[in-house]
A and B are shown apart, each in its own frame.
Chain A
């Protein structure tokens, strides 16, 4: 192992923190521009969608259990269940689906 591993770690931490910190600290006023406001209104939901789909399908290592988890999460979110409830219930469904597949295999 090269002895500069700590420098790698320091550099990546600096870059990552600056990215996270600059907009929050520099933008201290409400944005008035309507386009920018609208843009930022959509950003969170669009970002989360792109991060979730299709990654959720392959997240469990088996597309069948991934689909089971996705369907469960969609159903419970539609029913407006809280974040932890949706997350835990979906995990349990994936676990059970996995057990079932192993049993049937």
Chain B
């Protein structure tokens, strides 16, 4: 697989560019909030570099801004970022079973919604070099965007920031739709997830559940149901593997 490393890295890099651009736009607004919460440029930049997570950082700024307790911060981060555990779980089955611990630690750093999204879209096994390729534009995009937000605030025209905000979701659809086309069971599971997600977002009571928790609850519920009703057949498993 040695000769494939370069190609895997290049493919990851290519898919990482829209992620990095999307991150730049999102983390820009994060940077503005960091500044408002009293974080220095260095603090905001390092926070984004080592955390690489949108919902978690937005939540943390809320805690830091009011000088909340460390326990509150830890519990909040755990709940909001718990979805990464599901993603890491799924990726553990997507990598080569004999993959070294070093590469596993490396892939783990880049488990974000978006990098996970493109990683599961890979045919066959996930190469760590694909992950590194995707991280190469994504991590600077997220980090630099945060720094720019702290420094210059609202300098990008709003219409461009707004348009870029949709990039990540467009990419998710490019992963879901082709799969749903070829597997009716995936399509049905996604349809159920879609309806429930809307209900959980807009219904009184249910909408009090935070975005991070909604993702976890619905993922467990719908994937569990789909696995019970439509267990994957052998050939489907091979295709997934």
Contacts and interface: CB of A to CB of B under 8 A. Distances in A.
Contacts of B95: 24
Nearest to A36: B227
Interface stretch (B2-10, B142-150, B168-176): B168-176
Given A25-B108, A61-B162, A80-B178, A11 B92 contact: no
A38 to B, nearest CB: 4
A91 B167 contact: yes
Contact of B88 (A23, A51, A62): A23
Interface residues of B, number: 105
Contacts of A53: 193-194, 197-198
A85 B170 CA distance: 9
Contacts of A37: 93, 232, 237
A9 B15 contact: no
Interface residues of A, number: 81
B178 A59 contact: no
Interface string A15-39: 1110111111111111100111111
A91 B163 contact: yes
Given A9-B47, A20-B85, A24-B95, 20 more contacts: A20-B109, A21-B108, A24-B105, A26-B92, A27-B93, A34-B231, A35-B231, A41-B236, A43-B89, A44-B87, A46-B226, A49-B194, A77-B178, A78-B177, A83-B175, A84-B14, A86-B171, A87-B168, A87-B171, A91-B167
8 contacts: A12-B57, A12-B74, A20-B81, A20-B111, A30-B93, A34-B232, A53-B197, A87-B167
